Every structure is written in C-alpha cells, then in structure tokens.
Amino acid sequence: MIKTYANWKGDLEDYLQIGDLVDEEMADHFLNVLPPACWTAKIIQIGEPNSDVGGRATYATLEKTSQGWVYRGNCHRGETEGRS
C-alpha cells in the first residue's frame, strides 16, 4: 500500500513507518517544504534536522527504489539507514 500525501494528517512520524512506499506528491513535499538537506537521484532529505544522534543531525529521509520512493526514517545527511 502506498501512503499518500493527500491522506496525511498529523505528525509525519505517526503517519509514516520505515519501509512505507509514498506517492510522488509526498516526495515533492520532502523536496519543497524547505531547501533539502540532501537531494540526489536516490535520496531526498527534509532540510530541517529532526534529531541528533551521535553528535550528528538526522533528517526525515526518502530513498528511490525500484518500487518507488520509500520512507527510511531519520537518517544522517546523505544516508538511508534510520538512526532515530
């Protein structure tokens, strides 16, 4: 099941679970809500840090896979392994 931007209400972390597929509109939100912390062909990270793990900021992260954009949780800049 794909999580859609249109159905999102409340806190992002309550709506998305690590591994959820998201629609293009959600990916556009990650890209456009603030200047992204990281933006490549395979990663989009929201520009505002979510937390601090190991003395480094983490960011809400999407990774492009063969199935589409997948939520990876809060990851260090440029990474797709959830840290918090």
Cβ-contact 71, 20 below 8 angstroms: yes
Residue 35: its pLDDT value, please? Answer: 93
Question: Long-range contacts made by residues 13-22, C-beta under 8 angstroms, separation at least 24?
Answer: 13/60, 16/71, 17/71, 18/71, 18/72, 18/73, 18/82, 19/70, 19/71, 20/70, 20/71, 21/67, 21/68, 21/69, 21/70, 21/71, 22/62, 22/68, 22/69, 22/70, 22/71
Domain ranges (residues) in the chain:
2-76
Residue 84: its pLDDT value, please? Answer: 63
Cβ-contact 8, 72 below 8 angstroms: no
pTM: 0.93
Flag whether pLDDT at 18 surpasses 70: yes
Query: What digits encode the pLDDT tens for the residues 28-70?
Result: 999 999 999 999 999 999 999 999 999 999 999 999 999 999 9
Residue 82: its pLDDT value, please? Answer: 80
